[in-house]
Structure 1
Amino acid sequence: MTEQLNTDRTAEYPLECDHCHYPIPGEAEESDDGRYCSNACREAADDGSTMAEPSAYKRVVTGVEPIDSLVPNGVPADSLLLLSGDEGTRRTELGTELAWRALERGEPAVVVSFANPPTATLERFYQNGWNVLPALENDRLRIIDCFTYRLDDRDEFIEQRNAWTEFVGEAAEDAIVEVRDPSDRREVTHSVQGALDDLEMTETGLVTIDSLDELESLLQQQMVHGFLKDLRGMVCKARFVPIIASSAAMDEADAPHAEYAFDGIIDLRLTDRLAPDARLKQLAVRKLVGAQFLPQWVTYEYEPARGLFAFGPNTDARQLYESGNGAVQSNQHSHR
């Protein structure tokens, strides 16, 4: 009877390997100090090797409400994700918020900026009410500057900065990695790798790329895919650090390439189907390798400091806005 109970309990609660912490699918390899799924794990443990719990580094809860509502168990940390959406969907704010949520968790972040100079990239955080000065001082944020050296007169650009921009630029000076030739994908890749090494980013933090559209203006599409493939292998797969890249919505001709290049695609769109006199923003997960996700659209809005938030189908979208200025009302924040 006891043996039967033990068998049933093992079937319901499978044993975990004391080294890799994954379920043991068959008979355990046992030793004096534990049970293991394989000889490799037992020998590694005998040599003093230890592994963190898988959930500690292989899943990321982003902290962005609309995404987390669709991916309740977290995004695999070895993912290259694409944010695909047209203008007006707050795609840029979403990329900024994902980096901020990592910093808020105490993790490092690397922002690869093709579309803006570093001060403008940092200003995106401040426009949302997110102060990144402590992260700069604590060496948890890097900006890979793929913009400044493309200017015709970068010295004049620096001289024309106002007092605030000059202050932010000086405060971030040690956190900015300048890329002299953004059209050289190897230089960009090495700059990202160097930033990750400096911040000791393995199994922690994330990388964002602000605009694949700007990158495609510098490189041919085939070279962009090669660049993404290299980063995916060296950052996502080797270090378990996710990369989130942003791009305008792709047409059907580009879709097969996206399916090949990315582990996950998050679509953002504007729609007037729910409220004919209002263009609402919606978000859905098109694909996400290695994770369960809800196959539905989530309606969302944006507010400085709060970021993106979801609201349900029973909410009157017009009630979310104050008359005349489009600002979100503070008393309508609940997620229904």
Structure 2
Amino acid sequence: MVSTLLCRRARIVDADFTMWGFYSSGSGATFDAHALTTPFAETQASWARASTATAWAAAGGDFGPALDNVVGISNDPMMHIWENSAVVQGWVDTPASNNGYLVKVRDEAGAAKQRVLLLSGEAAEPRLRPSLTVTYTAPTAELTYYAADTPQVRMVSDEQQTVPVSITNTTTTTWKAADQVLSYRWTLPDGTDVTGTNRLDTALPSDIAPGQTVTVQANVKTTLQNTEGNKREGQIVNWDLRDKTTGTWMSSVAGAPPALPQNVSVEDPTSDQIGLEKFYAYSGKATGAGSNLLVNQYAGNACSPTMPSPTPAGACRRFCG
């Protein structure tokens, strides 16, 4: 059932109920889709009863108002679609209300007489069986924020960059540009907040309605590391919306999407020279058999020169990693 497959906080964008028609006699009838209001047993249901234990309140089934319709199903084999996202949203919000769909002729006593045959769930070809295709969003970090261009391999300490970030409203309320800004927090892998004064806010271009996506050029500035700390360390930039009036992060609000964490390697080069500084040099250790291990503790690189037995010209004499 829909309610068991989707997150309870999912927002339905589109829902298409489809059935394959392969025969039609007559023309002009309107076929309405309705949400059933009484649960039924598939192997026991009949015109008069929902199950062997329960009768329909009215013969033919208990159902709500028409949701969508298909007019004049032809004799050509094809898929027919009834769309209604509102009823599926209701099933997600209230799982007990999910009793399925019913398709029937709108005016059974009317002048338009038409008989059609539609494939059931037991059809030999699975792709032609009735289906409900749902497009939805959910308040998860990955569906709310998209920042693929964040430099994750290397950012220089105290450096400001501009990163395109797409924001999708995965909730049911509009996000006001007058209240919300895109911002971030820098944390260490253990969760320690190291943002300090290096947080920059980026204004939203407009209000973001539920399901709507906007892209902003977000400003981000890395943390200035302590001179006694690491020269390179892994940090996490956490993208999040922030209420600029109250200072509240959206991720702290119940039911709201969490922040999007992205790992970034932050370096503090301490110099803008051409590579002659002492910290660019390698320190070595003899490892025996004519080999040495050279390590650049600043950049994290290791190099292992070797002096093997006589080798042909051009053979490899050094391995670096």
TM range, smaller chain: under 0.3
Instruction: Work out which structure has the larger RCO, using CA pairs closer than 8 Å and 6 or more positions apart in sequence.
Output: 1
The structure carrying a bigger strand percent of its residues is 2
More helix by share: 1
TM-score, normalisation: structure 1: 0.23
- In the superposition, the TM-score normalised over structure 2's length comes to 0.24
Q: Which has the larger radius of gyration?
A: 2
